[in-house]
Amino acid sequence: MFTFLINRNLYNVKILIYCAKDEIFCLQELNYLINSYMRCKISDIIQLFFPETCVICENTLAYGEISVCLSCSSVLPCTLFTSEPENQLEKNFFGRIPIIEGTALLYYQVGNPTQKLLHQLKYKGREEVGTFLGNWLGEVIKQSARFKEIEAVIPVPLHLKKERQRGYNQVSEFGRCISLILGVPFIENVLIRNVFKESQTKKDRIHRLISDGLYAVENSAVLKDKHILLLDDVITSGATIEACCQALYQIPGIKISVAAMAYTG
């Protein structure tokens, strides 16, 4: 009996071989510790037969591109709010709710690339778009001179019925990526949605503001005296963020900053 231990740079293979007189080799143990190297190789094979396409233009992604091709990424309309105090998004909340800082990654308009990107995320099951946008905005926030005291990341919640219909909260993966980059917790069990309502996409601001009791807070001690980053997908009138903040400001000592994938302007 003898053992081969093969050590590669990025993975280990341990093989225990039993040698018998009849020259039959019995493989007793085969342990693979698969890491990024092996996953990349498997991904390369899958990509060969099932190439991934850009969620915006639907062309095949080049090696190293994730979700969105370089060409489409270059034309996405960035806001630059993260480095701009008293930006347009922050002014939208003046006199309504106190927020420390606010930002959105992209501008959203009907027919622009941002609309198609978020449509794929919300309605076509392309949850990886949340990863793409979360990694992007997370790095922008990390490099900014602002947003330096964030202690937790909180997503705007979906009602459980809506989340079951969609299969996921479109803001969750976005938030997880941002929290990892900032090195702070991602917390989903504090802010909850009480009432199920149909999509607010086509409602005007007045109807959106009829939201008393829409959100509630549980396990509030988790966020006591914390500065949180509240996340949404698209901020239009700001009614959803306002309703969330009304619930969250019941927590003693809480401070709230706001970030979104996109802002309608």
Q: What does the pLDDT look like over 180-225, one tens digit per residue? A: 999 999 999 899 988 655 554 444 444 444 446 789 999 899 999 9
Residues 224 and 183 reside in one and the same domain: yes
Cβ atoms of 116 and 56 closer than 8 Å = yes
> What phi, psi does 260 have (nearest 5°)?
-145, 160
For position 33, what pLDDT does the model report?
40
From the list 235, 229, 230, 128, the residue with the least C-alpha distance to 182 is 229
Asked if the structure places residue 246 within a domain, the reply is: yes
Average pLDDT over residues 220-243: 96
For position 158, what pLDDT does the model report?
86
| Residue 11 pLDDT grade (very low, low, confident, very high; cuts 50, 70, 90) | very low
CATH code: domain of residue 107: 3.40.50.2020
53-67, 111-125, 191-205, 221-235 — which is least confidently predicted?
Answer: 191-205
For position 45, what pLDDT does the model report?
60
Cβ atoms of 74 and 84 closer than 8 Å = no
| Residue 50 pLDDT grade (very low, low, confident, very high; cuts 50, 70, 90) | low
Residue 84 scores a pLDDT above 50:
yes
Residues 135 and 258 reside in one and the same domain: yes
From the list 123, 92, 77, 134, the residue with the least C-alpha distance to 261 is 134
Residues 109 and 174 reside in one and the same domain: yes
Average pLDDT of the chain, as a whole number: 81
Asked if the structure places residue 166 within a domain, the reply is: yes
Average pLDDT over residues 63-82: 92
Residues 233 and 162 reside in one and the same domain: yes
Asked if the structure places residue 168 within a domain, the reply is: yes
Residues 136 and 36 reside in one and the same domain: no
Residues 145 and 204 reside in one and the same domain: yes
Residues 128 and 30 reside in one and the same domain: no
Residue 72 scores a pLDDT above 60:
yes
Total domains, the chain: 2
Higher pLDDT, 43 or 74: 74
Whole-model pTM? 0.76
Secondary structure E strands in 59-189? 102-107, 152-155
Asked if the structure places residue 68 within a domain, the reply is: no
Q: What does the pLDDT look like over 141-150, one tens digit per residue? A: 999 999 999 9
- Cα–Cα distances (Å) from 241 to 42, 44, 162, 222, in that order, read 41, 41, 18, 20
CA of residue 253 relative to chain centroid, distance: 26
| Residue 57 pLDDT grade (very low, low, confident, very high; cuts 50, 70, 90) | very high
Residues 177 and 86 reside in one and the same domain: yes
Residues 86 and 40 reside in one and the same domain: no
Tell me how far apart the alpha carbons of residues 248 and 166 are, in angstroms, rounded to a whole number. 25
For position 128, what pLDDT does the model report?
92
Average pLDDT over residues 16-23: 42
Asked if the structure places residue 185 within a domain, the reply is: yes
Residues 134 and 185 reside in one and the same domain: yes
Residues 121 and 229 reside in one and the same domain: yes
Residue 7 scores a pLDDT above 70:
no
Q: What range does the domain containing 42 cover?
A: 2-49
66-75, 191-200, 243-252 — which is least confidently predicted?
Answer: 191-200
